[in-house]
Structure 1
Amino acid sequence: MAVIASDRRTLVVGLGKTGLSCVRYLTGLGREVSVADSRARPPGLEELQQQWPEVDVRTGGFEPEWFCSFNELVVSPGIAVSEPAIAAAAELGAVIRGDIDLFAEAADAPIIGITGSNGKTTVTTLVGELAQACGINAAVGGNIGTPVLDLLEAQPEVYILELSSFQLETTRELNADVATVLNVSDDHMDRYPSKMAYYQAKQRIFRGARNAVVNLDDALSTPMARDTLNFICYGFNRINPETFSTREDDEGLWITWGLDNLLNTKNLKLAGLHNVSNVMAALAIGHAAGWPLDVMLGAACEFRGLPHRCEPVETIDGVEFINDSKGTNVGATVAALDSLAPGCERIVLIAGGDGKGADFEPLARPVAEHCRAVVLIGRDADLIAGALDGSVPVEKADSMAQAVGLAAKLACSGDRVLLSPACASFDMFSGYEDRGNQFRQAVEGL
């Protein structure tokens, strides 16, 4: 094995947007940087070669001996640190880091960190809208939008970051002003040896944090290490001082703070009870950051949500078609079914794809309670059908257009047809956006 080089010698593992941002940042500091990617023509390669021709880049595979010549590896989130070449370098003493770790070291404004199996993109985007409404110069990015190292140039008043478990794996201390784990359900079980390992990765968001926003409806949202943290809580039917909660009366369902009603959920433009939870989370985060509550309430009522996340597409012959293509794990689909069942007769669910090693058993209960039928697509269709155990009629389709056509025939007036796959999309589509767009096109073609 080669001998470890000086601590100014860094290997960026993985290109794409994150890898390029790492090269840009590190070369800007005067660091000597090399790049490795297992793909022959990774995205960003041409830009790298044009802008940084001096950077040594090796593609098409990982060479353990070469990796071991570096004492710092900055690993992109899509690459597991258990990769043999990375593990070999770590065994010889190399520091394994990610872009979030580099960012936390350099950031000179408060950080709001948001993670969770479901809802993190919606909550992160909404918190950004709340900040803007409050007149706060915020930079939003991380797992969505702009890579974090590119946000440093903006010099904002606050950073609002969506963070995945993959990003947190290589983050030693985020030192966030406000941090939250919205929820934890089975996801990425093809990468993690157990749900505990996945949970522990999520928990890293609380390292060095000042304030923790805790979802009282999910025990796994609570920080394991809590002695130095200030808690701000939210949850359904949990009315307590210093807690965002809900109360129902003759006027409908209210979001509350302490004992006081704040806003009637009928004034929200977001559909579903899971989005009421997302709004409570965003308000709790803003409150923890010290933002004015009255301004945040107005902004929350104006927020329309995100494409492909419980997005109404069209109503045809009394049947509402809803695009939840971003429901890429079982927990997201369970939440969508439970949240969207009120207000309709029954749901016809379109699900399936690459389950990433997940357990589909938790789908059985909400499907039996809320669904008229299920249409399955993709690689793991048979696994899902087995988990449902005949509780409702199940059809299988070879394409999204065929799935939508079958669902439309199965649905009755007053029903909802819901695309919420509980799976990743790459077995059939280029991404969840492509899957959702094909659903929308198929509905428009009915």
Structure 2
Amino acid sequence: MQSIDQQTQVVVGLGKSGLSLVRFLARHGQTFAVADSRENPPELSTLQRDYPQITVHCGPLSSELLSAAQVLYVSPGLALSTPAIQTAIANGVIISGDIDLFAQHARAPIVAITGSNAKSTVTTLVGQMCAAAGLKVAVGGNLGVPALDLLDDAVDVYVMELSSFQLETTSHLQARVAVCLNISEDHMDRYVDVDGYIAAKQRVFNHAQTLVINRDDRPSQPQQAQSPTISFGLSTPAAGEFGLSEQEGETYLAYGDQHLLAVSALKIRGSHNYANALSALAIGTAINLPMAAMLSALQEFPGLEHRCQWLRNVHGVDWYNDSKATNVGAALAAIEGLGTGNVGKLILIAGGDGKGADFSSLKAPVAQYCRAVIVLGRDAERVVQALGGAVAIEHVTSLEEAVLAAAKRAHEGDSVLLAPACASLDMFKSFEQRGDLFAQAVGRLL
């Protein structure tokens, strides 16, 4: 085993964020090594081409190598419970990550957004609100561009999507505004229990100047709010809160007793998207964005691909692609969001890699809003068992079959919803590929 000599820093993990760490440290003249548990990590060829002088250790992580360092920059894809990392921690090695380095070097305010669901939607929407207000905004993190690649002294505000994995290695965030949008059970294949997952998410609030809180979602709320707070929720708002308000049969986004915008003016639909809109307005208010600019951006926002995305109407049936619903909470939000106020019923397409999740909370909303469920993928039978005969269920082996089966079962006025409640990697390269194939199959319907 080669030593790291005097290299006191090791980048652990050579995916997209690991390579961004390499670029950052090299640009700042730092001495470091790289380690990855895989024999051929995704960015190895790029590193060898651009940084041939950097020592790279591929294969099973060495406790000796990692414990000889002073600092490990651990990529989000690697669990801190990995034995070699645990040994390093026990030996006093400091654990950090790309978000920590980013926060220490960013000269503009940081908006930090986490949550089990809707992170990407809200991050993108807040970014567009900032742009509409005339600010130079940088958007990224867990979404799109790695954090360290965004650093630029000309930026006015950073809007960052952060995962629980990123937050595990983050101690110096000190965001101008921090929000945990919601909590539902996810990544139980990585955390011992849901409390560990919640604790990772809650790190977003550490030393933040303003906290945006979902008053409808207790697990996402900070245990001790020592900073000013702004809340959002679907209930009628009190003074200084964002919520929904009714007037003459119309539902409005509201701030206290002020009606801001009728939800009918939005391009995004469903109560979960109304919550997303309200959270974005609360975040924007916390960084003093003009309300007019925020509402203008909100009215133009079409939503994101694969996130409760309307595809088309075929014979009176609406088709929605929510392939990004990779956990139970996201699927619940889509089912309840589209089911509420819908004229017809939903045909739900679900299943895939369940990541050890409990699907039982799907049973009641499925019974209430769905006409049938089409299941596929590795954990299809676990979904069936959790639903316990709530509605008619049909097994299929492909998305093409699922689309055809759903089309046969749907009545005029119904909606077909792909909201798998599962990851995609048992059958697909990514949730994007799953959503694209679904959209293509829907496009072929006559």
User: Equivalent pairs: percent with the same residue?
Assistant: 49
1:412 aligns with 2:411: yes
The range that moved more, 257-266 or 29-38, is: 29-38
Letter in 1 for 2:73: V
- Encode CA deviations 1:275-304: one digit per residue, 9 max, x unaligned: 000000000000000111122111111100
Secondary structure of the structure 1 residue equivalent to 2:46:
helix
Which AA in structure 1 matches 2:422?
Answer: C
Correspondent of 2:279 among 281, 291, 295: 281
Task: Encode CA deviations 1:328-368: one digit per residue, 9 max, x unaligned.
Answer: 11001111011101223100000001111111011001100
CA contact (8 A) 2:272 2:333 kept: yes
1:442 to 2:445 alignment:
no
Q: Distance in 1 between matches of 2:233 and 2:175?
A: 22
For 1:39, the equivalent position in structure 2 comes to 38
Structure 2: gaps spanning 5 or more residues: none
Q: Stretches of 4+ moved more than 4 A in 1?
A: 1-6
User: Aligned residue for 2:388?
Assistant: 389
TM-fit CA distance, 1:251 = 4.2
What is the CA-CA distance between 1:153 and the residue it aligns to?
3.1
Counterpart for residue 306 of structure 1: 304
| Offset at residue 4 of structure 1 (A) | 9.4
Residue identity opposite 1:266 in structure 2: S
Deviations 1:308-338 (A, max 9, x none): 0111111111111110000111001111011
Give the letter aligned to residue 202 of structure 2.
Q
Shift of 1:40: 2.0
CA 1:321–1:340 in 2, change beyond 3 Å: closer, same or farther?
same
Q: Which residue of 1 aligns with 2:423?
A: 424
Q: Quick one: which amino acid aligns to residue 282 of structure 1?
A: A
Matched, 1:106 2:105: yes
1:221 aligns with 2:208: no
Q: TM-score, normalised by structure 1?
A: 0.97
* 8 Å contact from structure 1 (residues 233, 243) kept in 2: yes
Q: Quick check: 1:234 aligned with 2:222?
A: no
Give runs of aligned pairs for residues 161-172 of structure 1, distance below 5 A: 161-172=160-171
**Correspondence list, 1:271-420, <5 A:** 271-341=269-339, 342-420=341-419
1:118 counterpart residue number: 117
Alignment of 1:53-202 (within 5 A): 53-153=52-152, 155-202=154-201
List per-residue Cα deviations over 1:25-71 (Å, max 9, x = no partner): 11222211111112222111111011110101121321222222212
Q: Which moved more, 1:415-424 or 1:150-159?
A: 150-159
CA contact (8 A) 1:313 1:321 kept: yes
TM-aligned CA deviation for residue 173 of structure 1: 2.6
- Give 3-state SS (helix, strand or coil) of 2:148's partner: helix
* Alignment partner, residue 255 of structure 1: 253
Cα displacement (A) at 1:238 = 3.2
SS at match of 2:151: helix
How does the TM-score come out when normalised to structure 2? 0.97
**Contact 2:355/2:422 (<8 A) preserved:** yes
SS of the equivalent of 2:32 reads: strand
Once residues 154 and 442 of structure 1 are traced to their aligned partners in structure 2, the CA distance between those partners, rounded to angstroms, is 45
Mapped contact 1:18–1:76 kept (Cα < 8 A): yes
Q: Deviations over 1:57-97 (max 9, x none)?
A: 12132122222221211011011011111111111111111
Q: Distance in 2 between matches of 1:103 and 1:225?
A: 26
SS of equivalent to 2:152:
helix
The Cα shift of 1:2 comes to 11
Distance 1:3 1:325 in 2: 45
CA–CA separation in structure 2 for the residues paired with 1:40 and 1:407: 43
Cα drift, residue 5 of structure 1: 7.0
Aligned partner of 2:333: which letter? A
Gaps of 5+ in 1: none
Counterpart code for 2:30 = R
Instruction: Report the CA distance shift for 1:359/1:218 in structure 2 as closer, same or farther (over 3 A).
Output: same
The amino acid that maps onto 1:166 is F
